[in-house]
Structure 1
């Protein structure tokens, strides 16, 4: 059974619930009051209010649509800008990546350059040490040179003393000779003895000096034959040895062999890919060697005209070539690459290369082991081709354009830009003759003069088309040959002395007798 206390608690709870329900009813009744009032108004009034609300709501809806349209457009613009910014961001990121790669590469290069700099620094230090060593060696060599010069001076003094003694002995011998001549004249046989002595003395002196006798070369005066030889100019001529056949080379890349008696073409040698700047004939007349502007030399067989060799090795145009008069297969060439090369025609190989400080314009063999050369710096040089060393040199012209060695081997003829032709004694390299004429001007690029076989005449072409011939035995008398219509580039004398050939810029060859 429930207690009274529990009964009272239940009663109180029921009372509280009733009060709460009453309050809720009052609240709900107050909330529904406006609706009840509205329902109680007339229908027309409610219709007007609804219409106003509907119009108001419609206007608000239109404004919402407009706002939505503006927001859509703005959204599209924002999306496009976002995409552009995204692509720009990607480009910036790729650029940053590339710059980072470049930075790493530059760092590596910088490291390599630092290492190279250190290596170069060590090399410079080594060179400085070597330079100091060479300097000390040079000072030692200079001291030795001074000692050698002093010794040489002493030797010269002793030699001069011996020469003075020899001169005294020679004076005594001359005095005895004069005394004997007086006795012979008194006996009536002086003239015969004197003439014989003079003749013998002259022969002995010429033999001791190394002179060779050649037939007298008559001075030419008449043009016998005119040959239209080459197209574009002819700058090189040479007669075959012990023959009157003439060999010519021209700008048309051909070498031709002519009969100077008739001007008939004997053969034409083809195969060069460059202009012929110079040519030579070997001492046995078996081969013709041409220096070409294509940086090489061409070697043809005279019999048959076959191109036997193309000699390569120069790196610039070959401006001069000459064949040894003694060694049948030795040829020397000069190029504008500061080199002189020796060739063996048997094998077609270069056997020696000589470096020169100045470009060589022309060269010629002096003997088996010696070559002379004329250079741009104006010096005439003699080379020992076995050792590849310059044995002597002398200033000849402001610029040497051509050199020519006499048949006797005793003289060197040089031509220069100063329009002067100098004749040097090959034993002393002293000038023994200077030849010039008012109208004789060396052709631009150089022309090739020549010496007669007897060594008594000099022939040189001029830019005005004339040929000047100087006589050494007639006090430098000048003979002028006229006939060419353009500058004369080359002159040559046949070994027999019967012909002089000249060639000009128009490619014409004149044969003079």
Structure 2
């Protein structure tokens, strides 16, 4: 007998067979319906698929649009932040402008008040100006009258001066003639009476001057300025004491009778001392320097009394009269000075540099030699050019020397010629040339003897040429004392000694 499980399995198998049969019957009965449903479902699935694809595309496009919008949103936020910052700056600027506007309004208000006050002051000044113009007209009328009177007085004074000069010339001629006759008659007797064989003629109360010829030999050789050479030499008035100045900035005093070492030195200059001048009492020494300044020393104490400033280039020439001093520099100016105060009195400007000048004993006139070869005369009272004449044009004038009488002026130029002019008539009195004579530098100095009979000048070959003023001929040529170009000469006022200086700083005293 089968067990219960087997019966159950058989029952299940039968049931499955029955179900299959039933399913087959049902499938056969519902096949058309299933096919119709299948077609409907297929169509519906296709539509759904298409809709899903369309929705998928829309979703992708939506994502892209959202991303673009997000980017734009970020940019807009950044722009908004920048605009907020700019707005804050503008607000601060507006506040600052408002503050400045308030300040400007306050200033405008103050300026309006000041303008009103100034306007009132201008009205007062206009009234005063009107009164001053009336006063000026009155003064101009008075000035014209004074100028007319002054011109008349000047004409009378010039006429008197010319008459005095003519009388002086006549007296000099008479004196020279008398002395010549005395010399002829008593020359031998006077020579016996003189121990040194020198014949001297003098008037009562006048200075003694040599009447013998030019010097011929070296008496002393002085090593004056080894550093840079010697630039200027000058004798004291009525003395054989010689002053030398050099590129070492030192001024030295020498006893030309004894030679040897300097008796005194002046220091304090910060540049080369290019020219020297002495007061009539020999108590003050004025030096023109390359540091654009003038130094005034007390010759007794050796101290600097004044440092005169005002030139803008090196000072090339100085001179002193009884009442004032004059200087010139490479800045195309000529200045006059009050030596008591150290102040400049006048400044004269010209287009050509001045290499040398001299001032009259009364300080009323200055004679200047310029690089354009023109000799010019200046009125120191007005500071204006009085007259001029052609001396060495187109070559530069290197030296200007006024005679002791003040009636003639000696010039030397780069054309290797020396000329002597009459100060009153401006006529050329003499021309001096020499074989082999050449001017060494643009600041070479020549000189007249104190009796005005001889002219001396140093040459570029180291010699010293001496001319006779009356014959215009070379009297002698001094050689053997210098080994370089001679740049300056000076004649002693107390003897017939002649000093010369060269570029190497050697000074020779000739007798």
Q: TM-score, normalised by structure 1?
A: 0.60
- Structure 2 residue 365 is the aligned partner of structure 1 residue 373: no
- Per-residue CA distance 1:150-201 (angstroms, 9 max, x = gap): xxxxxxxxxxxxxxxxxxxxxxxxxxxxxxxxxxxxxxxxxxxxx9898389
Which residue of the other structure, out of 329, 333, 339, is the alignment partner of 1:345?
339
Match of residue 498 from structure 2: 500
- How much has 1:79 moved relative to structure 2? 8.3
Does structure 2 retain, via aligned residues, the 8 Å contact 1:452–1:497?
Answer: no
Q: Secondary structure at the match of 2:60?
A: helix
- How much has 1:213 moved relative to structure 2? 6.3
Does structure 1 retain, via aligned residues, the 8 Å contact 2:277–2:287?
Answer: yes
Give the direction of change, closer, same or farther, for the CA distance of 1:486–1:199 in structure 2 (3 Å limit).
Answer: closer
Give the direction of change, closer, same or farther, for the CA distance of 1:200–1:511 in structure 2 (3 Å limit).
Answer: closer
- How much has 1:397 moved relative to structure 2? 1.3
Give the direction of change, closer, same or farther, for the CA distance of 1:478–1:84 in structure 2 (3 Å limit).
Answer: farther
Match of residue 296 from structure 1: 293
- How much has 1:477 moved relative to structure 2? 3.3
Distance 1:239 1:335 in 2: 23
- Structure 2 residue 428 is the aligned partner of structure 1 residue 431: yes
Match of residue 324 from structure 2: 330
Which residue of the other structure, out of 313, 316, 319, is the alignment partner of 1:319?
316
- How much has 1:305 moved relative to structure 2? 0.9
Distance 2:509 2:355 in 1: 26
Does structure 2 retain, via aligned residues, the 8 Å contact 1:232–1:252?
Answer: yes
Q: CA RMSD in A?
A: 4.8
Which residue of the other structure, out of 189, 209, 222, is the alignment partner of 1:214?
209
- Structure 2 residue 303 is the aligned partner of structure 1 residue 306: yes
Match of residue 406 from structure 1: 403
- Identify which range, 289-298 or 304-313, moves more after superposition: 289-298
- How much has 1:288 moved relative to structure 2? 0.5
- How much has 1:431 moved relative to structure 2? 2.4
Distance 1:445 1:315 in 2: 19
Which residue of the other structure, out of 475, 478, 482, is the alignment partner of 1:477?
475
Distance 1:306 1:196 in 2: 48
Give the direction of change, closer, same or farther, for the CA distance of 1:317–1:58 in structure 2 (3 Å limit).
Answer: same
- Structure 2 residue 390 is the aligned partner of structure 1 residue 395: yes
Which residue of the other structure, out of 353, 356, 378, is the alignment partner of 1:362?
356
Does structure 1 retain, via aligned residues, the 8 Å contact 2:453–2:468?
Answer: yes
Distance 1:196 1:435 in 2: 28
Does structure 2 retain, via aligned residues, the 8 Å contact 1:213–1:454?
Answer: no
The alignment of Structure 1 onto Structure 2 pairs a total of residues equal to 376
Distance 1:484 1:507 in 2: 10
Which residue of the other structure, out of 246, 262, 265, is the alignment partner of 1:268?
265
- How much has 1:238 moved relative to structure 2? 0.8
Distance 1:265 1:197 in 2: 39
Q: Secondary structure at the match of 2:209?
A: coil
Distance 1:50 1:228 in 2: 130
- How much has 1:87 moved relative to structure 2? 12
Give the direction of change, closer, same or farther, for the CA distance of 1:402–1:67 in structure 2 (3 Å limit).
Answer: same
Distance 1:196 1:441 in 2: 39
- Per-residue CA distance 1:327-356 (angstroms, 9 max, x = gap): 2x5322234455443333223233455565
Distance 2:336 2:178 in 1: 47
Structure 2, unaligned runs of 5 or more: 1-35, 87-92, 94-151, 153-176, 185-200
Does structure 2 retain, via aligned residues, the 8 Å contact 1:453–1:497?
Answer: no
The aligned runs of 1:8-87 (5 Å cut-off) are 50=48, 53-70=51-68, 72-73=70-71
Give the direction of change, closer, same or farther, for the CA distance of 1:87–1:274 in structure 2 (3 Å limit).
Answer: farther
The aligned runs of 1:86-97 (5 Å cut-off) are none
- How much has 1:508 moved relative to structure 2? 3.6
- Per-residue CA distance 1:31-72 (angstroms, 9 max, x = gap): xxxxxxxxx967975677656644553343234323433555
- How much has 1:492 moved relative to structure 2? 1.4
Does structure 1 retain, via aligned residues, the 8 Å contact 2:500–2:509?
Answer: yes
Does structure 1 retain, via aligned residues, the 8 Å contact 2:338–2:345?
Answer: yes
Does structure 2 retain, via aligned residues, the 8 Å contact 1:491–1:501?
Answer: yes
Which residue of the other structure, out of 447, 450, 453, is the alignment partner of 1:453?
450
- How much has 1:435 moved relative to structure 2? 1.3
Match of residue 181 from structure 2: 199
Distance 1:386 1:489 in 2: 33
Give the direction of change, closer, same or farther, for the CA distance of 1:76–1:365 in structure 2 (3 Å limit).
Answer: same
Distance 1:298 1:311 in 2: 6
Distance 2:402 2:269 in 1: 27
Q: Secondary structure at the match of 1:264?
A: coil
- How much has 1:434 moved relative to structure 2? 1.3
Give the direction of change, closer, same or farther, for the CA distance of 1:285–1:55 in structure 2 (3 Å limit).
Answer: same
- Identify which range, 353-362 or 245-254, moves more after superposition: 353-362
Does structure 2 retain, via aligned residues, the 8 Å contact 1:296–1:310?
Answer: yes
Match of residue 278 from structure 1: 275
- Structure 2 residue 236 is the aligned partner of structure 1 residue 248: no
Distance 2:183 2:219 in 1: 41
- Identify which range, 257-266 or 488-497, moves more after superposition: 257-266
Give the direction of change, closer, same or farther, for the CA distance of 1:215–1:310 in structure 2 (3 Å limit).
Answer: same
- How much has 1:495 moved relative to structure 2? 1.8
- How much has 1:450 moved relative to structure 2? 1.3
- Per-residue CA distance 1:445-488 (angstroms, 9 max, x = gap): 23111122232322212333333222336643341424544433
Distance 1:418 1:376 in 2: 12
Distance 1:502 1:336 in 2: 25
